Structure formats: C-alpha cells, structure tokens
Amino acid sequence: MQRFAQSLTILCAVTLLTGTADAKDAFDLKSESFDLPTGDRTFIGAGADPVNNNCLTCHSAEMVMVQPKLSKANWEGIVKKMINVYKAPVPDEDVGPIIEYLSNHPTAGR
C-alpha cells in the first residue's frame, strides 16, 4: 500500500511538471497592433495650443471631440487616464489648461 502511495505521488509530481511545461507554451504572449482613428483636424480657438501639442500624438482631434458634452470633472478623468493609463507625456503645467479648454469648447475641432 505504501508503495502504491509512493508511485501515486511520483505520478502526480510528473504530471504537474509536464502540465506546467504545457501551460507555458499555451500562454505564449504575442504583440498585436491596431490603428486608432487619425485625421488632419486640430483643436481651434483660444487655449488650443496645449491640447494640440499633447493630444494629437496618438489619435485624432475627432477622437476627442466626438465625445458627448462632458463636465469638467469628466474631462479631468479622461486627461488623467491618458496620462496614467496610456502614458501620454503631458507636462504638469499643461494639464489644467487642457482640461479648461476641453470643458469650455465642447464642439471645437468638429
């Protein structure tokens, strides 16, 4: 009986080891690429410069301006998401003016 238990233990260990190797192959990570909408429009009007300088690197002005009319708090959340999640390199001093512009110009760029 003890021998049986020993064999069972070894069998389980072998199964686990082989299982791990299979799992590693199954989770081979691949890079995917996708295109975001692009366009040649820019943000217009007073205070548009910081938005043009910081928000057109990855996507079009349309991508920003097709949003429904949003509150200042909503825009702040979006700008922070661009910076923190998507790593948009926005200088600290531009963050306030960008949020200000977007909440005051709900249709700019359309």
Residues that bind ligand HEC (CB under 6 A): 54-55, 57-59, 63-64, 67, 78-79, 81-82, 86-88, 90, 98, 102
CB closer to ligand HEC, 20 vs 107: 107
CB closer to ligand HEC, 64 vs 108: 64
Answer yes or no: are the C-beta atoms of 98 and 51 closer than 8 Å: yes
Q: How far is the CB of 84 from ligand HEC (least distance, A)?
A: 11
CB closer to ligand HEC, 22 vs 35: 35
Q: Tell which phi-psi region holds residue 37, choosing left (phi > 0), alpha (psi between -120 and 50) or beta.
A: beta
Q: Measured between alpha carbons, how far is 50 from 42 in angstroms, rounded to an integer?
A: 11
Answer yes or no: are the C-beta atoms of 86 and 64 closer than 8 Å: no
